[in-house]
Amino acid sequence: MPPANCDPRSGHLSAEPRARHVVRVGVYQRWPTAGESDFLQSYVDSQPDWRIALRRSDYGSGATLKRSGLQRVLAAARSGAIDVLVVRHMYNLSRITQHLAFLLDELTSRGVRVVSVADPGLDTETPFGLFLVRVVTAVAEIEYTGARADRRDRLRHEQESGDESPLAG
Protein backbone atom coordinates (compact mmCIF):
# COMPACT_ATOMS: atom_id res chain seq x y z
CA MET A 1 0.00 0.00 0.00
CA PRO A 2 1.42 3.45 -0.91
CA PRO A 3 2.24 5.93 1.82
CA ALA A 4 -0.60 8.23 2.91
CA ASN A 5 1.10 11.27 1.39
CA CYS A 6 1.56 9.69 -2.04
CA ASP A 7 -0.55 10.88 -4.96
CA PRO A 8 -1.62 7.60 -6.64
CA ARG A 9 -1.85 9.27 -10.07
CA SER A 10 1.68 10.60 -10.08
CA GLY A 11 3.41 8.24 -7.67
CA HIS A 12 5.20 11.24 -6.16
CA LEU A 13 5.23 12.16 -2.50
CA SER A 14 3.48 15.42 -1.78
CA ALA A 15 5.10 18.04 0.40
CA GLU A 16 2.02 18.14 2.61
CA PRO A 17 0.40 14.90 3.85
CA ARG A 18 -3.11 16.20 3.11
CA ALA A 19 -2.30 18.12 -0.06
CA ARG A 20 -5.27 18.56 -2.37
CA HIS A 21 -5.25 16.95 -5.75
CA VAL A 22 -5.39 19.49 -8.57
CA VAL A 23 -8.02 18.51 -11.10
CA ARG A 24 -6.70 19.00 -14.64
CA VAL A 25 -9.44 20.41 -16.82
CA GLY A 26 -9.82 20.42 -20.57
CA VAL A 27 -12.16 23.04 -22.03
CA TYR A 28 -13.63 22.41 -25.46
CA GLN A 29 -15.70 24.82 -27.53
CA ARG A 30 -17.22 24.48 -30.98
CA TRP A 31 -17.83 27.85 -32.65
CA PRO A 32 -16.54 29.71 -29.58
CA THR A 33 -17.56 33.22 -28.57
CA ALA A 34 -15.93 35.52 -26.02
CA GLY A 35 -18.99 35.30 -23.79
CA GLU A 36 -18.92 31.51 -23.85
CA SER A 37 -15.19 31.46 -23.04
CA ASP A 38 -15.80 33.73 -20.05
CA PHE A 39 -18.74 31.56 -18.94
CA LEU A 40 -16.66 28.37 -19.04
CA GLN A 41 -13.72 30.08 -17.32
CA SER A 42 -16.03 31.28 -14.52
CA TYR A 43 -17.37 27.78 -14.06
CA VAL A 44 -13.90 26.25 -13.81
CA ASP A 45 -12.79 29.01 -11.41
CA SER A 46 -15.79 28.23 -9.17
CA GLN A 47 -14.71 24.60 -8.70
CA PRO A 48 -12.21 23.93 -5.90
CA ASP A 49 -8.83 22.70 -7.12
CA TRP A 50 -9.76 22.79 -10.81
CA ARG A 51 -7.09 24.17 -13.16
CA ILE A 52 -7.29 24.44 -16.93
CA ALA A 53 -4.66 22.20 -18.49
CA LEU A 54 -6.01 22.27 -22.07
CA ARG A 55 -8.17 24.66 -24.04
CA ARG A 56 -9.26 23.71 -27.57
CA SER A 57 -11.87 24.93 -30.01
CA ASP A 58 -13.11 24.20 -33.50
CA TYR A 59 -15.17 25.92 -36.16
CA GLY A 60 -16.36 22.68 -37.72
CA SER A 61 -19.63 20.85 -37.99
CA GLY A 62 -20.94 18.89 -35.03
CA ALA A 63 -21.85 16.14 -37.49
CA THR A 64 -18.23 15.00 -37.88
CA LEU A 65 -15.45 13.89 -35.55
CA LYS A 66 -12.80 15.20 -37.96
CA ARG A 67 -12.09 18.36 -35.98
CA SER A 68 -8.52 19.11 -34.91
CA GLY A 69 -9.48 20.59 -31.53
CA LEU A 70 -11.64 17.59 -30.68
CA GLN A 71 -8.89 15.21 -31.74
CA ARG A 72 -6.46 17.03 -29.45
CA VAL A 73 -8.91 16.67 -26.56
CA LEU A 74 -9.11 12.93 -27.24
CA ALA A 75 -5.32 12.69 -27.39
CA ALA A 76 -5.07 14.50 -24.04
CA ALA A 77 -7.59 12.07 -22.53
CA ARG A 78 -5.73 9.07 -23.92
CA SER A 79 -2.43 10.32 -22.50
CA GLY A 80 -3.95 11.02 -19.09
CA ALA A 81 -3.38 14.79 -19.32
CA ILE A 82 -6.93 15.76 -18.26
CA ASP A 83 -9.31 14.59 -15.54
CA VAL A 84 -12.41 16.58 -16.56
CA LEU A 85 -13.67 17.87 -19.89
CA VAL A 86 -15.87 20.96 -19.67
CA VAL A 87 -18.20 21.95 -22.51
CA ARG A 88 -21.06 24.40 -22.63
CA HIS A 89 -23.49 21.85 -24.11
CA MET A 90 -22.98 18.16 -24.84
CA TYR A 91 -23.95 18.73 -28.45
CA ASN A 92 -20.75 20.79 -28.77
CA LEU A 93 -19.00 17.42 -28.81
CA SER A 94 -21.30 15.95 -31.46
CA ARG A 95 -24.84 16.16 -32.75
CA ILE A 96 -24.78 12.54 -33.89
CA THR A 97 -25.80 10.08 -31.18
CA GLN A 98 -23.39 7.37 -32.31
CA HIS A 99 -20.51 9.86 -32.33
CA LEU A 100 -21.42 11.25 -28.93
CA ALA A 101 -21.73 7.74 -27.50
CA PHE A 102 -18.28 6.92 -28.90
CA LEU A 103 -16.79 10.11 -27.44
CA LEU A 104 -18.37 9.61 -24.04
CA ASP A 105 -17.24 5.99 -23.91
CA GLU A 106 -13.73 6.96 -25.00
CA LEU A 107 -13.47 9.73 -22.43
CA THR A 108 -15.09 7.94 -19.49
CA SER A 109 -13.14 4.73 -20.12
CA ARG A 110 -10.00 6.85 -19.67
CA GLY A 111 -11.33 8.23 -16.39
CA VAL A 112 -12.29 11.62 -17.83
CA ARG A 113 -15.46 13.15 -16.41
CA VAL A 114 -17.49 15.17 -18.94
CA VAL A 115 -19.42 18.18 -17.64
CA SER A 116 -21.94 20.35 -19.47
CA VAL A 117 -21.91 23.79 -17.82
CA ALA A 118 -25.22 24.98 -19.29
CA ASP A 119 -26.94 21.71 -18.37
CA PRO A 120 -25.61 20.77 -14.90
CA GLY A 121 -27.57 17.50 -14.80
CA LEU A 122 -25.64 16.30 -17.85
CA ASP A 123 -22.53 15.17 -16.02
CA THR A 124 -20.94 11.78 -16.65
CA GLU A 125 -19.82 11.51 -13.03
CA THR A 126 -23.07 9.77 -12.15
CA PRO A 127 -24.92 6.96 -13.93
CA PHE A 128 -28.07 9.10 -14.00
CA GLY A 129 -26.13 11.99 -15.53
CA LEU A 130 -24.71 9.70 -18.21
CA PHE A 131 -28.22 8.39 -18.90
CA LEU A 132 -29.55 11.95 -19.27
CA VAL A 133 -26.72 12.86 -21.62
CA ARG A 134 -27.61 9.99 -23.92
CA VAL A 135 -31.34 10.74 -23.84
CA VAL A 136 -30.81 14.39 -24.68
CA THR A 137 -28.44 13.59 -27.52
CA ALA A 138 -30.88 11.01 -28.90
CA VAL A 139 -33.56 13.71 -28.99
CA ALA A 140 -31.11 16.07 -30.71
CA GLU A 141 -30.41 13.46 -33.37
CA ILE A 142 -34.12 12.85 -33.91
CA GLU A 143 -34.60 16.59 -34.44
CA TYR A 144 -31.60 16.74 -36.78
CA THR A 145 -32.85 13.73 -38.76
CA GLY A 146 -36.33 15.27 -38.96
CA ALA A 147 -34.93 18.54 -40.26
CA ARG A 148 -32.94 16.67 -42.93
CA ALA A 149 -36.05 14.74 -43.96
CA ASP A 150 -38.04 17.98 -44.16
CA ARG A 151 -35.39 19.53 -46.44
CA ARG A 152 -35.29 16.41 -48.60
CA ASP A 153 -39.10 16.38 -48.91
CA ARG A 154 -39.17 20.09 -49.77
CA LEU A 155 -36.54 19.61 -52.50
CA ARG A 156 -38.40 16.60 -53.91
CA HIS A 157 -41.64 18.60 -53.95
CA GLU A 158 -39.91 21.50 -55.73
CA GLN A 159 -38.46 19.12 -58.34
CA GLU A 160 -41.79 17.40 -58.92
CA SER A 161 -43.66 20.66 -59.29
CA GLY A 162 -41.08 22.09 -61.65
CA ASP A 163 -40.02 25.70 -61.46
CA GLU A 164 -43.57 26.89 -60.92
CA SER A 165 -44.17 28.73 -57.72
CA PRO A 166 -47.65 28.61 -56.22
CA LEU A 167 -47.39 32.40 -55.98
CA ALA A 168 -46.43 32.86 -59.63
CA GLY A 169 -49.13 34.54 -61.61
- Domain assignment present for residue 2? The answer is no
Q: What global pTM score does this model have?
A: 0.71
Residue 48 falls within a domain, yes or no?
A: yes
Q: Which helix (H) or strand (E) holds 146?
A: helix 127-160
How far apart CA 88 and CA 29 sit, in angstroms, is: 7
Q: Is residue 98 part of a domain?
A: yes
In DSSP terms, which residues pair with 24 in a beta bridge?
51
Which percentage of the chain shows pLDDT scores above 90?
Answer: 45
153 pLDDT tier (thresholds 50, 70, 90): confident
- How many domains, in total, are found in the chain? 1
| Single-letter residue type at 41 | Q
Distance CA(69)–CA(115), nearest Å, equals 17
Q: Is the pLDDT of residue 18 over 70?
A: no
**105 occurs within a structural domain:** yes
**Does 81 score more than 80 pLDDT?**
yes
Average pLDDT over residues 142-167: 78
- Of residues 119 and 26, more confidently modeled: 26
Where in the sequence is the domain holding 99, given as residue range(s)? 23-159
Q: Is residue 4 part of a domain?
A: no
Q: What is the mean pLDDT of residues 90-112?
A: 88
CATH number of the CATH domain containing 29: 3.40.50.1390
